[in-house]
Structure 1
Amino acid sequence: MTADRDTIYDDLGIPSVINATGTKTRIGGTLVREEALEAMNRAAEAFVRISDLQAAASERIAAVTGAESGYVTNGASSALTLAAAACIAGDDLGVMARLPDTDGIPSEIVMPRTHRNGYDHALRAAGADIVDVGGNDYHLGTGSENTQPWQIADAITEETIAVAYMEKPFTQPPLPKVVEIAHEHDVPVIVDAAAELPPTENLSKYVDQGVDLVAFSGGKAIRGPQSSGILAGREDLITSVARQHLDMHAAEPVYEPPEDLVDVATLPGVPLQGIGRSMKVGKEELAGLIAALDAFVEQDDEAVLAEWHGRAERIAADLEGVDGLDAELENAGKTDAVTTVAVTVDETRSPVDAGELVLALRRENPRVFVGADDVHRSQFTINPRCLPDDEVDYVIERIAAQVDTE
């Protein structure tokens, strides 16, 4: 492989990217499946009522997640915004019309402090106020948990509309315990599982644990359109999502969306354009996500993870031979996580530090993106999932060139 690649981005006069960092939105997420691309092209050839397509998608999402209902969103972030909006408004059209104004309306979401991150802005965008609980006790080395279950229970009041949970292998308290506490107080649980695939079984894991709404990215492991997401959960909450997301610009006598998705019989009138209007999903994205999801649930997780693991082993072995670098595998041996390569830059032997190396790679043409979360620890990572075999040698060559002192 060389830097001579023929992509549409070259035609546009901008560098393309060699992706050695994984399914990051900032560099396009993932490569869309052929099945999804074909479905998107076919969807572009004809018109369809979007609510009918959402209803069809809802059935498929429910089938693979075990949830009562499902919905296709404009990415996992909008799934969280719509989840919060549904928990705030329920079936109240007046509240829906006011969002994100929640003055005088219960709108608090309880969330363990260590689950807080930049992505929780999606919850606040609906008008929710996040109530932090717990601390950062792991960092103190006292042996205490970051958040005690009783702290979640203690924070739930009449103003609480949901408990939010960021799903990661290290998050505490255990999700089933959080669900138990929330449901004892008749409060739903929203789970952000945007990047928690594979394995495929995680599609149903959170519903099986009793959560009320769970969000997944459609443009990461599922390899659907980058701008797609999935929300699965309770039928009444998904109904609220549909009422706040679908195009409602219709005369009442002819307003007839799919009954199993919106249920007009329970409405006092036609909902106004809701908070989800700016997050609309096109027919192409809907069709593409359905096709990608069908293909994803049929894939052999073990074979895919084994392929990525083998590629990571090859990368680590090759980089171990580069003076100034030390490489080791992370998450090796796990079947539910992608094996990545952690590369440490020995600044006593390398002419550049980790930050300088990563930045230099990103300035090349094509740009080479490696993981930069740990550059402050003199370390970067290589994720094999979006790096095909024919690009591995090029990435290793470009990394080695940055530390070559000769």
Structure 2
Amino acid sequence: MKRRKLIKGLSLIPITGSVLSAQSVWAAPAENGFAGTILPVGTESAAFGALKNEPNIFRSIGVEPIVNCRGTFTIIGGSIERPEVRAAMEAASKDFVQYDELAFGIGRRLAELTGAEWGMVSAGCAAAMKHVTAACVTGGNPEKLIRIPDLSGFEKTEVIIPRMSRNAYDHAIRNIGVTIVEVNTQEELESAINPRTAMIYLMADDPSVAGKPLTLEAIAKVATPKNIPILVDAAAEVLTIPCVHLQRGATLVAYSGGKAICGPQCAGLLLGKKDILMSAWQASSPHHGPGRDNKVGREEMLGMLAGVEAWIKRDHKAEWKQWLSWLDHISKKVSTIDGVQTKVEEPTQLSNRSPVLHISWNPDHLHITGEELAEEVGRNKPRIAIGSRSEPGTTSITITTGQMQPGNEKVVADRIYGILTQKRSPRSTEMPAPSATISGRWDVKVEFFSSQSQHSLTLEQDGNWLQGSHKGDFSVRDIAGTIEGDQVKLRSVDRNPGDSITFIFSGTVSGETISGNIHMGEYLTAKFTANRYTYKGKRQRIMVPGGPPLAT
């Protein structure tokens, strides 16, 4: 699975709530529109004191840590930095240095290590994408640089992106003010290239898969003769030396420091053409301009270099063997449960490469779904982040090894075994009868953290089932859900190129009002109040004219 596609797949901790214990660490009441303040079990009313390093620094401020069986997701910390990385960052923190000199020294050393023409460290992979875009738009001209994002009078103002490569992270490119031109075929690519084309951006594809439209080789065949740079986003990939994407025709390749390389979470790695990377560095902090907000410190810069140095020396085969041994321990434990099957997947692609254990069962047999199990272990101590999914007749969870730490496998095995062996009664499939009829139009006030919006819902009700439309600030989309007793649950998705926002309404109907929370995943939680729309038109008969008017 590619680097960024993971965010479109299974959720980190599914929202079900059907098996949560009363001691859920997410059970704190909603405050200021944020339903889900995390507090450790049994300390909801405790007063936390000064920051402490033992037994866990996060618990000292009321935040419960997580066992990561999900992968290198930024929202749970990315990766654990290598000891060499932490040592380099600590050493770098003790002296001052001129940042341009440091960047040039690191660039030379990265070139020696990787075989690329030059290297650069940025404040994360998205920042790397932003700086490269600025470099391709300005050509290193500071008069242009300080005018971004106003590109009036610029020769280069467009970035071509294959439709299959659109993703939430291309905001970093759009931040420069360029016009995005989507293409889907080789013919469209050739037609889209023009004197305004600044660069072409695409997600890293698997070089072993042939016959796909718009492969890197196919793009390079058209772009390279026209001197159009190609930026490949390889954020979650393992680092290949020499870089396979540069060999296949890319001009520049961007990696995340805090994923497979296990460098600083707030660092990114750029490899490729020196002239463009020099212009990208010019567009980065400490220099002023559009990249000043993406500051990378001397600690992260040397930490990222140390991460690459360590990557070359690491025993990757031994790491893989250790990961498999952890999955074997978990598999042996849960396989003793009647009806539970396990399977280990060993990915071969470059992105998110680490073994994954799939644990599956019939939910009608154990009376729990994978989503419910993931919810239980994700919300309660010891907290564990796992993947989950369900299909007709089967449900499953996934254990990803890449960021597990020694000893985690025992905690995970015991936790999952304990939940799956609990005795549960079969759940009734009967829904409580609805307490109200809510068909019709509803005016919805949405309260975000610091603003309000007016939305509207138009609903049709068929017993417990609801469907209709949700009009937001900029679009109208389908919505569907249920009403069980006085509890209303609805779901809609606002989709944009590379982006989507899921709205999950959870509220209580009382008379002509529905109120509750809107859960929006990574965008946290808002409050809503919906009032039934009152039509103001007069009742009157309508005469239909027999033809066009005789006067205007």
State TM-score, norm by structure 1: 0.82
- Tell me by how many angstroms 1:223 deviates: 1.4
Amino acid at match of 1:237: I
Q: Once superposed, what is the RMSD of the aligned Cα atoms?
A: 2.5
| 1:181-228 residue CA offsets vs partner (Å, 9 max, x unmatched) | 21133211000001111xx42562122223111101111122111101
Mapped contact 2:85–2:264 kept (Cα < 8 A): yes
Which residue in the other structure is 2:59 paired with?
A: 10
Mapping of residues 324-335 of structure 1, within 5 Å: 325-331=340-346
Paired with 2:422 and 2:216, the residues of 1 have a C-alpha distance of: 50
Instruction: Check if 1:241 corresponds to 2:290.
Output: no
- Aligned residues with identical type, % of pairs: 30
- Tell me by how many angstroms 1:86 deviates: 1.0
Amino acid at match of 1:110: I
Where in structure 2 are there 5+ consecutive unaligned residues?
A: 1-39, 42-53, 424-552
Secondary structure of 1:51's aligned partner: helix
More contact order relative to length (CA 8 Å, sep ≥ 6): 1
Paired with 1:382 and 1:163, the residues of 2 have a C-alpha distance of: 36
Amino acid at match of 1:346: N
Which residue in the other structure is 1:180 paired with?
A: 221
Mapped contact 2:123–2:267 kept (Cα < 8 A): yes
> Which of the numbers 372, 392, 400 marks the counterpart of 1:383?
400
Instruction: Check if 1:300 corresponds to 2:315.
Output: yes
- Tell me by how many angstroms 1:334 deviates: 7.3
Mapped contact 2:330–2:412 kept (Cα < 8 A): no
Give the number of the structure whose residues are more often helix, by fraction. 1
Deviating 4+ runs (over 6 angstroms): 333-336
Mapped contact 2:327–2:409 kept (Cα < 8 A): no
Mapped contact 1:309–1:332 kept (Cα < 8 A): no
Mapped contact 2:220–2:230 kept (Cα < 8 A): yes
Mapped contact 2:346–2:354 kept (Cα < 8 A): yes
Paired with 2:153 and 2:391, the residues of 1 have a C-alpha distance of: 44
Amino acid at match of 1:90: G
How many equivalent pairs are there? Answer: 364
Deviates more, 1:13-22 or 1:3-12: 3-12
Q: 1:345 to 1:56 in 2, by over 3 A?
A: farther
Mapped contact 1:179–1:211 kept (Cα < 8 A): yes
Mapping of residues 345-360 of structure 1, within 5 Å: 345-360=361-376
Which residue in the other structure is 1:149 paired with?
A: 186
Paired with 1:306 and 1:342, the residues of 2 have a C-alpha distance of: 18
Where in structure 1 are there 5+ consecutive unaligned residues?
A: 135-147, 249-272
Which residue in the other structure is 2:326 paired with?
A: 311
Paired with 2:338 and 2:137, the residues of 1 have a C-alpha distance of: 57
Secondary structure of 1:245's aligned partner: coil
Greater Rg by CA: 2
Which residue in the other structure is 1:67 paired with?
A: 116
Mapped contact 1:331–1:338 kept (Cα < 8 A): yes
Secondary structure of 1:216's aligned partner: strand
Q: 1:346 to 1:154 in 2, by over 3 A?
A: farther
Secondary structure of 1:392's aligned partner: helix
State TM-score, norm by structure 2: 0.62
Which residue in the other structure is 1:132 paired with?
A: 182
Instruction: Check if 1:123 corresponds to 2:138.
Output: no
- Tell me by how many angstroms 1:365 deviates: 2.4
Which residue in the other structure is 2:103 paired with?
A: 54
Which residue in the other structure is 2:77 paired with?
A: 28
Mapping of residues 241-280 of structure 1, within 5 Å: 241-248=280-287, 273-280=288-295
- Tell me by how many angstroms 1:84 deviates: 1.1
> Which of the numbers 231, 242, 254 marks the counterpart of 1:215?
254
Q: 1:343 to 1:280 in 2, by over 3 A?
A: same
Instruction: Check if 1:77 corresponds to 2:126.
Output: yes
